[in-house]
A and B are shown apart, each in its own frame.
Chain A
């Protein structure tokens, strides 16, 4: 198979036209040509075609160079709600629902006990850490950092169980179940009593023993 060639003159002209589109020549496609024809399309060489990142359904914008590229589209409220799962110390992000210590105990025994143990002291072989204990050990030689001894905010407990536990089925617990298991863990930690019920109102009010235990980074002024 022979590859169509173009004359050197033709290619020089084509380049010139591309660089300086002369109004008369470039716009009037019907005008008879007085020079060699433009190159034919290249035959398929078998080269793989790269994917183009240009997509059809881009949002309209007023494209500038610093902002407002008109790329991407507004996120809808439903899209945000579907993954906006974080809960913060002020209670923002906590969902509706409620759960008690008793409900939490049953769930814990079913879903958590294998890795965190009956006494909530962890099962080292599974990597599941202790969840309670360790108060008054933080300044000692063998500090035990747990939800009970180290965590500053109950919202973190809710948030983490909801997003990442149980390790073998993350994201499988309902808000009611997470409230209940949180009530159970905080109850076993002696932070709540066994009648406590947790929901979006009560959970942010839980006072954690180590709430004041954290300081800001003093580096680089201090080592």
Chain B
């Protein structure tokens, strides 16, 4: 055991361990090791990591004992020694995390970056397979940046609202926080979610096929409140929203949406927005494609026409087989996916499993989710876990006994408008396979006879 910086009599074994862990942590920060490609980061998959999950338990225990003294904790965790019997000695000291908690070192889910060539314009995906309930932890919310993550001092940030308004306004973060606030729990989905899956099954896990959707509680000022303060002029029809990142990201928003349920959000899940989610201010447009929900928001310009920015012309338009493209396809249609069992998992043996997953719609509440365990021949109604909220991830569950034969699992949802999630064949029939965006078809997971779960088109 190395000498500790704490020689005082007052420190017992638990404090000493804590101090040791802090020294180790500091060492890690001062002498970072090159990041390793570690298969143990996959989470919830065959033979890996999550305690109690399928085959994972024993292996992790073994790995821990064998770990070197300066083993690295997963991101967001601090590595502490495991006590032989936590009932026989005091646990670690209060606040040794510095006053902002960390997760257990045994939990290692992380966002996964899609391997785009550009690191500045890239995206990372939420590990849906391990998600519980409907809220995505802020640190696992998917990301899409077109110019990296800016680091903005909120004291120096202001929102400027101008254009077709009576009174152009400059609002600081303090100003916005003093106005009447609103919170809502809602999903954000990138319209590129699933773009790899149009033609053939491509990515293996639900994180890869569906990980560009996440749900948070968002808090801020209603955009309608701020617009009323400025006084919108007759003839106004669109609003340009602009970010303060290196892409100076811009999108045009219909004014009806702005007046309806748009929020200028400064908080996520009870605390300030994460930097990668737009700190200190983002636009929240419940049910709209993620790209429109401009992060690091610095400017709103009210106009009478759409502004035709690059992201609503060259990108985020849906090319059809006849060579024309749909533009301003802003609302995300109803979609669902089974997150357990899902791609690259392994069912150890026939028997009971609870099928679970998420359903959501940009047009309202989820009314019904059906699950098929025979490739779409028959469907059973899944139970919807409360709360079932407007434009929000909704958790569904269905008990199921797997008889050990090969089969295909699917889910399909219907929202309160009566819209039912299409099959991939229906979607391709209507739009071809080249539209890139807005793939909301039914996902199929094949369960092989040996229990392997894989992504298939069925």
Q: Which residues of A contact B (CB under 8 A)?
A: 53-55, 58, 65-69, 71-76, 79-80, 83-86, 88-90, 124-128, 138-140, 143, 145, 147, 150-153, 155-156, 159-160, 163-164, 167, 170-171, 213-220, 222-223
Contact = CB atoms under 8 A, between A and B. Distances in A.
B42 interface: no
Interface string B159-196: 01110000111111011011110000000000000000
B301 A147 contact: no
A95 B116 CA distance: 34
Enumerate the 8 nearest inter-chain pairs by beta-carbon distance, A residue then B residue, closest first: A127-B118, A139-B323, A127-B117, A138-B323, A160-B310, A223-B430, A163-B248, A72-B171
Given A55-B172, A69-B179, A85-B248, A217 B229 contact: no
Contacts of A85: 248
Given A152-B313, A164-B248, 8 more contacts: A74-B168, A74-B169, A84-B299, A126-B117, A138-B324, A145-B314, A217-B331, A223-B427
A187 B228 CA distance: 46
A66 to B, nearest CB: 7
A218 B307 CA distance: 20
Contact of B161 (A53, A58, A68, A75): A75
Interface stretch (B89-97, B239-247, B339-347, B391-399): B239-247
Given A222-B430, A223-B431, A213 B323 contact: yes
A139 B118 contact: no
B246 A155 contact: no
Contacts of A219: 329, 331, 333
Contact of A215 (B177, B247, B299, B324): B324
B160 A86 contact: no
Contacts of B419: 220
B430 A214 contact: no
A80 B299 CA distance: 9
B104 interface: no
B417 A164 contact: no
B120 interface: yes
Interface in B183-238: 225, 228-229
A216 B229 contact: no
Find the residue from A53, A128, A218 having the highest chain B CB count within 10 A. A53
Contacts of B333: 219-220
A214 B324 contact: yes
B326 A55 contact: no
A164 B242 CA distance: 12
A71 B319 contact: no
A83 B324 contact: no
Contacts of A222: 430
A160 B309 contact: yes
A72 B169 contact: yes
Nearest to B299: A83
19 contacts: A72-B175, A73-B170, A74-B168, A84-B301, A85-B248, A86-B240, A86-B242, A86-B307, A126-B117, A138-B323, A150-B325, A159-B250, A160-B314, A164-B310, A167-B147, A171-B246, A214-B324, A216-B327, A223-B427
A80 B171 CA distance: 12
B417 A213 contact: no
Given A58-B175, A74-B167, A153 B313 contact: yes
Contact of A217 (B309, B310, B329, B426): B329
A69 B325 CA distance: 43
Contacts of B325: 138, 150, 213-215
B16 interface: no
B422 interface: yes
A40 B296 CA distance: 45
A216 B313 contact: no
Contacts of A164: 146-147, 246-248, 310
B415 to A, nearest CB: 10
A179 to B, nearest CB: 17
Contacts of B328: 216-217
B162 to A, nearest CB: 5
A153 B419 CA distance: 34
A84 B307 CA distance: 12
B365 interface: no
Contacts of B147: 164, 167, 170
Contact of A143 (B248, B250, B422, B434): B434
Contacts of B177: 53
B321 interface: yes
A91 to B, nearest CB: 12
A75 B168 contact: yes
Given A125-B117, A218-B326, A74 B174 contact: no
B363 interface: yes
Interface string B104-117: 00000000000011
B121 interface: yes
Given A54-B174, A55-B174, A216-B328, A66 B301 contact: no
A91 B301 CA distance: 16
B330 interface: yes
Nearest to A136: B323
A169 to B, nearest CB: 10
Contacts of B314: 145, 147, 150-151, 156, 160
Contacts of A54: 174, 178
Interface in B60-79: none
A127 B310 CA distance: 16
Contacts of B28: none
A64 to B, nearest CB: 10
Nearest to B427: A223
Contact of B247 (A88, A124, A170, A220): A170
